[in-house]
Structure 1
């Protein structure tokens, strides 16, 4: 019995030494990685600059900006130049029964300028609608930016967690291989039964399957990282929470979500758009006053052959009052009113969703704190338990299977801790997004903030030009 206990203790000491060596190697590798690591703020800055979804939304917003100069065109004169030319054969029968004929080459050139003086306030309201659509679009852009940054946080922490899981599973497989080798030697010496060897082999195969699953998850998370961030992940630094930017309590979170979340603000602007669109529709029922001036010159255009050319200049005002258009304008007005009512209901719905998201994010963040604390306690307890089992195995009071079970408990506890730490970081950023503050300015990222108003002011008062401000 003493000899068997001594051999078991020898196994336990070798297993412990192997675990210590692997731990040292992992720590050294992590320290070396940390020296050249890409941190989370850098990854967020790259995603903010290069993410295709976000850049596509910025292009959409630039297109929305063009709605304002299009509406402002209603205030400006419309100038049209015309040129007509052709061939004309003329044969005139005169009173004295003589025939007068000629082959003419008539042409007319002219310029017409039309200025709208009053159109039932349609232009003014259309400009207001376009400006409100720009404001709504900016909030939609901000919302997409929040989503991209949150996606970047998620993929970053997923890669980081999966890298840690792969390292832990590789360490576990090495531990199990060593244990299986020692058990087989003991079987050959007659110290253990084939059952012990089968148990060690089964545990090794389980460890290999867990390692494969962790490597598959890591490969998938790395591909997703490349899609969102724009580059392949290599050495990632630790991800920290953003607790310093978060509200103090749940009520504050709900209040901030109502006031600052871009989805709520965009829906509020949409209500204003719909309300103003009613006045645009009603303008079709009001009179329109225009002023038109024109000049023209024509040659050989008189089929009587009485004149060779004509020069004309005119200026005239015109008043049009719709009487009945088949009910089109009335229907459009009723339609606009229904859309306005719909937009108000959508605003209420978005506010409710923002409230639910804020409460959910707050609860999830608080729950993540508890989960991390519990997982840390579990790892500490599992570590103490493993050390105790190893000492007892060295004294002959425990078997190799007991050591393996305790090691497995520790590996599972570490996996849960890694997942809880990942969820803790994501939960803090999710709460920051739920209150509408997940942006470059709040996070202090090392990248210029995209300012949509710059493009807006570049094109708002543009009277001409086909090129975009970027030169396209």
Structure 2
């Protein structure tokens, strides 16, 4: 091998040995990987922040139902030389005003309800992100686990072929085989070494993907746990999915938001009533209280209001169609995930049978070659078939685990809570409850700060 390949193979080999050591005190389980992925995901952090931003929309919508208190001060200066009667050249006044929308056809109340539904939709989107993060962690863990086994198989195969080469060279020395047999064994050894380097390269790639999904490079892996339970049929899985999948729940809330926005567009065509009261004082000690009630309604706006209503109606129709399409897509995902699980299970069973047959064929071929009934090429071919069978089983086992978790994801159940990871999970109600009443910062700022600190990076 070249110096680069020797360096690369040595680095990957040392990584595989450190990861594959059995019985280590702190071996990393799949559950550990899922917990780390949940805690370290920047994608979850990003979408939790977006959810908190949506929570603030509720506070802002609620504020429109409350009076607005405003304070204003003004001052003026007049050049005495230019004044008509030479009066005072400075003036100042202060005014305090409170304004409240008494009636608006329900627009502000509908807006508040719409923002609450948007929060619920955003929460469902966050659950979808959580599922993606956890499924990526499962895929990354199984890829590393399979890559480690493939490296081990490649190492064993290289050792076996090295022994075959030595035996063939010994037999060549005594005239039992030809130079061709030696060359075949040398070629097979070179191929085995090449496959070993490829397996080590696949392991290095899997380690990088693991770091992205989980947040750190894999430590010693403890193996794979028992498979989580799934429904007994795709029909049962679909029945659960249409009730629990976050994409469907998000689409349902989006329909409600569109319907509320349609009602707002209709209410905007009606009248509104605002009331205000104010207190004013100037530098002449003149002061007074003023009150005003104002009724207003748009009579003509160039067709804008009716266009807004038609637009809102179109959005309702679009979101309803989107809900139906989302249900179909979720059902499709369940069917695909279930098919993938069935294929993985079948491949795993077939791989076991293939390994058994390939092992018998290899043992028989090797014995026949010792008696002169088989050639070196026959032995090498049988050994390669056995290696291929074992490698196929490794991949089939990894595919089965990933497929089971994919079924859970397609049902909307691949969450930290459903998996029972045993860790504190992010509580979307904590921040919402702290801000949904639109508290003033001056009064409840400390409480909000404590809520944000407790949210942390759960």
TM-aligned CA deviation for residue 30 of structure 1: 5.2
Distance 1:453 1:290 in 2: 34
Q: Does 1:87 align with 2:77?
A: yes
When the two structures are aligned, how many residues end up with a matched partner? 433
TM-aligned CA deviation for residue 27 of structure 1: 12
Distance 1:208 1:278 in 2: 68
TM-aligned CA deviation for residue 234 of structure 1: 2.1
Matching residue within 133, 137, 145 for 1:160:
145
Structure-2 residue corresponding to 1:47: 37
Matching residue within 424, 427, 432 for 1:448:
424
TM-aligned CA deviation for residue 334 of structure 1: 0.7
Distance 1:356 1:111 in 2: 61
Alignment of 1:35-184 (within 5 A): 35-90=25-80, 100-184=85-169
Structure-2 residue corresponding to 1:470: 452
Structure-2 residue corresponding to 1:216: 201
The change in CA–CA distance for 1:29 and 1:445 in structure 2 (over 3 A counts) is closer
TM-aligned CA deviation for residue 309 of structure 1: 4.1
Distance 2:423 2:371 in 1: 60
CA RMSD of aligned residues (A): 2.2
Distance 1:315 1:28 in 2: 80
Which has the larger Rg? 1
TM-aligned CA deviation for residue 450 of structure 1: 1.4
Q: Does 1:270 align with 2:260?
A: no
Structure-2 residue corresponding to 1:261: 245
Distance 1:36 1:178 in 2: 36
The change in CA–CA distance for 1:396 and 1:191 in structure 2 (over 3 A counts) is closer
Structure 1 unmatched ranges of 5 or more: 1-25, 94-98, 300-307
Structure-2 residue corresponding to 1:421: 397
Q: Does 1:204 align with 2:194?
A: no
TM-aligned CA deviation for residue 100 of structure 1: 3.2
Q: Deviations over 1:44-81 (max 9, x none)?
A: 01111111112211111111111111110111110111
TM-aligned CA deviation for residue 457 of structure 1: 0.8
Q: Deviations over 1:328-356 (max 9, x none)?
A: 11111110110110001111111110111
Distance 2:386 2:65 in 1: 75
Distance 1:140 1:29 in 2: 36
Structure 2 unmatched ranges of 5 or more: 1-15
TM-score by length of 1: 0.87
Structure-1 residue corresponding to 2:384: 408
The change in CA–CA distance for 1:217 and 1:180 in structure 2 (over 3 A counts) is same
Distance 2:329 2:362 in 1: 47
Structure-2 residue corresponding to 1:297: 281
Q: Does 1:384 align with 2:374?
A: no
Distance 2:88 2:275 in 1: 38
Which has the higher mean CA deviation after the structures are superposed, 26-35 or 459-468?
26-35
